[in-house]
Structure 1
Amino acid sequence: MGGRNNTAVHEFILIGFSNFPDLQIVLFVSFFLLYWTSLVANTLLITVIRVDRTLHTPMYFFLSVLSCSEVCYSFIIVPKMLANLITQTRTISFGGCIAQLFFFSIFAAANCLLLAVMGYDRYAAICQPLHYPVLMNQRFCRQLVGSAYIISIFFNIIEIWLIVKLPFCGPNKIHHFFCEIGPVLKLACKKSSVTEIYIFIFCIVIISGSFLLVLLSYALILNTIFKIPSTKGKQKAFSTCASHITVVVVHFGYASIVYLRPKSTYALDQDIFISVSYTMVTPLLNPLVYSLRNKDVQLALKNALGRRCMPRA
């Protein structure tokens, strides 16, 4: 973090929801309940997938990794946000802000790539069913997950290196509830076209690139499904993709609104509440959607809860 030699700012103030002083307690209770519901739901889903042998398949392996990533990514932001809602001290150190931005960006980018990987898994299962066990073996699945995180970490190291090189000499008020990249860059005393171009390309590659890979997977899947002669077969194929499609639409929809829209359309309060949806609602989506729509997960949950509730002999 050699860039700190060029800055007079040693801490930032997270303005967050201070524009709504009468709603602080209401927001705290609402976000606290939402966060803990998300945490419990994702933890339960991860545990069920790990315990139930019928869910030891590539699809559920990727789902458990995605849920774990969502838990980590919420943990980086939400506890600090909750603390700021009930205290008057809303400061975060320069290093803490950079660390929060770095780790949040890693998990956010990795989630996009993981959704693309899950799309490929659905393609392999539906379009290459006979070769699926060979294509999606345990080692290859782990390599795909590892690659998603390696790519994310690599891009984010460069991003953070470019950011810490910028001088921050004041003001130090971040108009957000966490160190999100846009509000942080606005506080730099000197604008860097290289940094802005890199971040724009990074967002395009990760968000748009991942989404295009998902679209390609589903274009091939649809082509295969339409060739299935029986209506029941088509419905079964569609049902295996429905949960993933729902998560993809919501996840990439929010990501596009936050990171790919023109700067001229930014509105401070609107951005904050969109980010709340992106950082708190989306992590709850995976266990909710997969629990409501997936019979295998529902059965595994019933079995797990049934064993738990059974009296010991």
Structure 2
Amino acid sequence: MDPLRVAFVGCGEHARMSLYPSLRSAFGGSPVGLPSLVLSQEGRSLPPLLANLVALVDHKKDLAERVASFHHVDAIYTDHRKMIETERPDAVIVCIHPKRQAQTAIDCLEMGTHVWVEKPPAESIAEAEAMARAARKAGKFLAVGYMKRFSHAYQRAKAFMEKPAFGEPSVWESRYTYGQYPIDVYRFLNGFATHHLDLPRFFMGEIASVYAERVSRGFGLDGYAIVLRFANGGVGLVNTNCLEGAHINQSERVAITGVGGRVFVENWRRVIGVLPDNSPTYFWEPEDIRPTDDQNSLELHGFVGELRDFVLSVRDGRAPGSTIDDGIAAIRLERAIELSVKRGASVKLEEATDNV
């Protein structure tokens, strides 16, 4: 099978720092347009080549040229529609501001490509639902970049929960903190905190209702205490805030309790699991003292995994591990939280709209 032809729309900071560097490992082999794979061990064979990066798009041509030069990509465009007409990629990765992301993704889908978009997929439920309709009409996949789902720590926690002795997931607890947030550019719950609106559903299943309280201490200084009720009868607590000093003061903790078992994930890198059957306590943390491909931060944190999953989904014709439906659910939960704060009461998820 020939490698997929993949194009990339967006050359912003996140794309340059996290996504472009992840493509080498995500695509496998020695992809055209990317530096050769650095092998972890002498004599280790290259993984199969899944895709090549064939074109870059950014409305700032000089920025696109610099990024393309670094990644050895010859095809540079300022218009994604022109790029698709000329290059005919199989799939397009889109990482731009959510204000522009929805229409860009819809354009790509309507022109016949599979699409991966960065989280959040859009700023509103209506925009995200329009994206989903476009994907269904085109018969193409539309993946959303909730990379924490693909991180080594959360993947191991998920696998631990599937042990029969863990029991039905019953209680969710999470804490995610950040520094003062640029709310003139992004909404906090729609931006970084959206991961902790997605993870409860990823681990526990559908969310039925939410009750939330908010404290505001100035511009971009907010905290939320959120109570969740899951469709399986379970309950959850989410503490998320952007109050803790500089933005580098980022931390997170997740604890999930079953019926007998429990598992903890500390700061996205340490997993501790306990079962009631006297089996040894499960403990995992990365061996990142070794500079290997499978122990670098982009692999461990899920950036490589989310892109690899998308490419494999296109190649194999199966749904991605994080789809536009997951994006819609996270945005709907965000709006339900804000509606609960406004009402001072519990809100069913189906009550949430963009008009809060």
TM-score class, shorter-chain normalisation, is: under 0.3
TM-score, L = length of structure 2: 0.25
TM-score, L = length of structure 1: 0.28
Which of structures 1 and 2 has the larger relative contact order (alpha carbons within 8 angstroms, sep 6+)?
Answer: 1
Greater fraction helix: 1
Greater fraction strand: 2
